[in-house]
Structure 1
Amino acid sequence: MTPPKPPARPDKVSLWRYVRLFRRDILSAQPAKLYQAKMAEFRTPFFRSYLINQPDLIDVVLRQRPSDFPKSGRISEGLRPLLGNSVFLTNGAQWRRQRRIIDPAFEGGRLRDTFPAMVAAGQAAVARLGQGGAVEIEAETSHAAADVIFRTLFSIPIDHALATQVFDQFRAYQREQPILNLAAFLPLPRWFPRGHSRRTRATARQIRALITQLTTTRADQIARGSAPDDLATKIMTTPDPETGQTFDAAEMVDQVAIFFLAGHETSASALAWALYLLATHPEAQARVAAEAAALGPDPSFSDLSRLRFTRDVFREALRLYPPVPMMVREASRPERFRNRDVPTGAQIVLSPWHLHRHTDIWDAPDDFDPDRYGTENGKACLRTAYIPFSAGPRVCTGAGFAMVEGPLLLAMITGAFDISPDGPPPVPVAHLTVRARDGIQLRLTPRG
């Protein structure tokens, strides 16, 4: 079956109607023509935006001249209460300093070190699922992905009291906060209220207070020489090679907040959609289960090389349902794209959702086909039209981490359970990430 895709809006709607649709769901707020467009312009009384679907122009923005296209402040307006000045929102020298400190924690050797914690989280997820039955799988993958983050970042499982509180509060924040708020559409002065609901502000404060407890405890452990050798310790003790300074306490809270958002929310989204795709494609599921059976009950890092098809399934889930469906940059100087003048301050929208389903770029773009990556079209598209983690200098620091975690958990769950759909097809919507409007209902039956 063709995987579900949200309906497109009519080509022409009023600005007010568009804002309302956008706040409710980014995906269904867009017209169908964007799946064929190389570039589209959107004008409002306050700004212009240009959606870019042409691979060579995307390459200019993300890889060739990224400093000319910094992250747009309009996106940060909606996320600032939780993420502060994290690496996800900053630009320029501040961003470069943050990456110099963070990147060493996610180098290849460190992934090997975090692998046992990922396996433990996967085993715990399989145990929680027990005898299977009808499950809402997004809730389960959220739990599993959060467990991975806490085990690899702070060496504590999800059932640790403080970890559970962070997880519960984050779920409340995700339900409350749209990816864009009023300030994303209107040029508001700094003193003007940003339109965050009281509950959103309160939940963000609670999450940050809980993260502060975790980081303060870890700082004390580092000072006493008793800190575990995990990602938090690595990041908190890594000095900037240019200044010799480490993150202070407030900066570390910002970074942990984005690690949780990027490492938990996005992984949970991709894993849930991957399991749904396997549920609706039994032949692919059987191939993943066969690879999982070869792993054994306690896989090692070197066993990942056996999960070739599983990795392509996860890659295909990221293509069809990229967790972050749109990224926004801002032109810092006048540009000319496709014979159009792009003024300074224009918003440059890069949409993995539309790029990954572009009818002129991908073969059968709406189909689920993990084997496509062995074809000439698939190989070419991976190089030029596949950006679930962004690309260039601002590529997601945790991309390698995600491509270990995702296939591993996918194999462990599929190896333990036969998976089938249970209920109507899910409807994709975009809030903080691409999720299902009413969840993803699956039925799990233990294998063997």
Structure 2
Amino acid sequence: MIPPKPRARPDRVSLWRYLKLFRADILSAQPARLYRAWMAEFRTPFFRSYLLNQPDLVRLVLKERPRDFPKSDRISEGLRPLLGQSVFLTNGAQWERQRRIIDPAFEGGRLRETWPAMWAAAEAARHRLSARAGEVVEIEEVASHVAADVIFRTLFSIPIEDAVAQEVFTEFRAYQRTQPIVNLAAFVPLPDWMPRFFRRDTRAAARRIRALIRQLTAERAQAIADGTAPDDLATKIMTTPDPETGQRFSSEEMVDQVAIFFLAGHETSASALAWALYLLALFPDWQHKVAREAEALQQGDFAEMARLRVSRDVFRETLRLYPPVPMMVRETACPEHLRARDIPKGAQMVISPWHLHRHVRLWEQPDSFDPARWGTENGRTCARDAFIPFSAGARVCPGAGFAMIEGPLLLSLLLRDLRVSCVAGQVPEPVAHLTVRARSGIHLHVARRGTA
């Protein structure tokens, strides 16, 4: 049984047809040949774009020469009303300074300290889902709720039920519905002075979210000044000086960073968790293995994380098949020559986890769900050369370690006492919004484990 993936478009379509498909859904706009190509070129009247699947080219761009391939602002331009000058969008010295301040909060020792908050959010989600046993549940909504709860508990030490947290969550869902997949700047180079034509409701939702985040950060700044702030991620980041300049984030910079923490930590985690639950509903034998392994989880001790080997492999396989961020775009800072092609300065270098993770010349049975592959020689090789759900190199997501604890834990606790199964006739279709989601949601039947 092959899990669903988008239907590829024909190899040749008009530019206008391609742009229309691309704006509707990045994934289904791509031809099937990209799943076997090492490099592919696409030209528009305004710029050239190159998809890179060859592992040594991906390594060159992300790990070996990242400064020569800075992040392109074409795809991310549409996120600026919400994210401002966050670490997700910046380049150069500004980005390096931001990472020097942020990275210490996500070091290994700090992750242990977030475990109790993750556990509490997972238990709360398990109780909420248990109350709906016997129902068909839209599981993306459940995943979004618990992922947001994890972020608020670990970042600000408040549960999702907190009034401000609930308001941010509600506003963010509104923002998701108004945010176009790509902005006009993705196709047409616009000068800095020209308006970006964001939708009015998109701008309004971003303003409301930023106002709420500004309130949270201002309250935390006052608590830090009073000596009453909890020792969570927000306090750690707000009190960490840049080791080179001694400067801390300003109030507005902190709003930018919290916005991306919420987007990256909530939206991507929710996407991965929802698809993981669907895959386990589709493959009940693997669901049973996860549930059996989770029976040993009792104490809420970080040491228990080492026991979640099956859940971790299931989560990794989910990230392979449904990487939350399906494409990353870099830009050439100087002319390049790759695979006998002369590439001009300013060309768009697209690295697509979606295609790389399913590449037929790299992976054995790339479209199949097989968590056991991570113990094979092919799986270990591809894990090193062709698995980048969190990017790689200098710009690897600082929360990658956080996500690889959160995902398996949530999956295990939710399925320890509950069972999910597919609903006849409802097969989710993956599409790329802010992350890889299902076009019409993921509907699963929820039952208490041990019941019919």
For residues 14-70 of structure 1, the C-alpha deviation after alignment (integer angstroms, 9 at most, x for no partner) is: 222212111111000101110011000000010000000000000000000000000
Q: Which residue of 2 aligns with 1:235?
A: 237
Secondary structure, in 3 states, of the residue corresponding to 1:40?
strand
For 1:284 and 1:126, locate their aligned partners in 2 and report how far apart those are by CA, in whole Å.
19
Secondary structure, in 3 states, of the residue corresponding to 1:189?
coil
How does 1:26-41 map onto structure 2 within 5 Å?
26-41=26-41
Check the 8 A contact 1:86/1:251 in 2, yes or no.
yes
For 1:267 and 1:420, locate their aligned partners in 2 and report how far apart those are by CA, in whole Å.
21
For residues 114-133 of structure 1, the C-alpha deviation after alignment (integer angstroms, 9 at most, x for no partner) is: 10000000000011112422
Letter of the 2:412 partner, please give it: A
1:179 to partner: Cα distance: 3.0
For 2:374 and 2:41, locate their aligned partners in 1 and report how far apart those are by CA, in whole Å.
32
Letter of the 1:338 partner, please give it: R
Q: Which residue of 2 aligns with 1:434?
A: 436
For 2:359 and 2:352, locate their aligned partners in 1 and report how far apart those are by CA, in whole Å.
10
For 2:383 and 2:181, locate their aligned partners in 1 and report how far apart those are by CA, in whole Å.
27
How does 1:119-268 map onto structure 2 within 5 Å?
119-129=119-129, 130-132=131-133, 133-268=135-270
Q: Which residue of 2 aligns with 1:20?
A: 20
Letter of the 1:261 partner, please give it: L
Secondary structure, in 3 states, of the residue corresponding to 1:122?
helix
Letter of the 1:379 partner, please give it: R
Check the 8 A contact 1:141/1:272 in 2, yes or no.
yes
For residues 360-414 of structure 1, the C-alpha deviation after alignment (integer angstroms, 9 at most, x for no partner) is: 0000000000000000000000000000000001000000000000000000011
Q: Which residue of 2 aligns with 1:102?
A: 102
Q: Which residue of 2 aligns with 1:391?
A: 392
Check the 8 A contact 2:9/2:28 in 1, yes or no.
yes
1:191 to partner: Cα distance: 2.4
For residues 120-160 of structure 1, the C-alpha deviation after alignment (integer angstroms, 9 at most, x for no partner) is: 00000011112422100000000000000000000000010
- The TM-score, its normalising length taken from structure 2, stands at 0.98
Check the 8 A contact 1:183/1:195 in 2, yes or no.
no
Secondary structure, in 3 states, of the residue corresponding to 1:41?
strand
1:299 to partner: Cα distance: 2.3
For 1:353 and 1:37, locate their aligned partners in 2 and report how far apart those are by CA, in whole Å.
13
For 2:23 and 2:416, locate their aligned partners in 1 and report how far apart those are by CA, in whole Å.
39
How does 1:27-106 map onto structure 2 within 5 Å?
27-106=27-106
Q: Which residue of 1 aligns with 2:407?
A: 406
Check the 8 A contact 2:152/2:165 in 1, yes or no.
yes
For 1:86 and 1:177, locate their aligned partners in 2 and report how far apart those are by CA, in whole Å.
18
Identity score, percent: 71
Secondary structure, in 3 states, of the residue corresponding to 1:291?
helix
Matched, 1:314 2:315: yes
Task: Work out the number of aligned pairs and report it.
Answer: 447
For 1:193 and 1:249, locate their aligned partners in 2 and report how far apart those are by CA, in whole Å.
26
1:181 to partner: Cα distance: 1.0
For 2:291 and 2:46, locate their aligned partners in 1 and report how far apart those are by CA, in whole Å.
52
Letter of the 1:146 partner, please give it: A
1:75 to partner: Cα distance: 2.1
Secondary structure, in 3 states, of the residue corresponding to 2:160?
coil
Q: Which residue of 1 aligns with 2:5?
A: 5
Q: Provide the aligned C-alpha RMSD in A.
A: 0.8
For 2:255 and 2:287, locate their aligned partners in 1 and report how far apart those are by CA, in whole Å.
40
Letter of the 2:249 partner, please give it: F
* More off after superposition, 348-357 vs 409-418: 409-418
Superposition misfits of 4+ residues, deviation over 6 angstroms: none
Check the 8 A contact 1:79/1:179 in 2, yes or no.
no
1:195 to partner: Cα distance: 2.2
Secondary structure, in 3 states, of the residue corresponding to 1:51?
strand
Check the 8 A contact 1:318/1:388 in 2, yes or no.
yes
Distance 1:131-1:170 versus aligned 2 partners, 3 A rule: closer
- The TM-score, its normalising length taken from structure 1, stands at 0.99
Check the 8 A contact 2:267/2:435 in 1, yes or no.
yes
Please, which runs of 5 or more residues in structure 2 have no aligned partner?
A: none
Matched, 1:425 2:437: no
Letter of the 2:443 partner, please give it: Q
1:177 to partner: Cα distance: 1.0
Q: Which residue of 2 aligns with 1:276?
A: 278
Secondary structure, in 3 states, of the residue corresponding to 1:169?
helix
Q: Which residue of 1 aligns with 2:343?
A: 342
For 2:262 and 2:31, locate their aligned partners in 1 and report how far apart those are by CA, in whole Å.
32
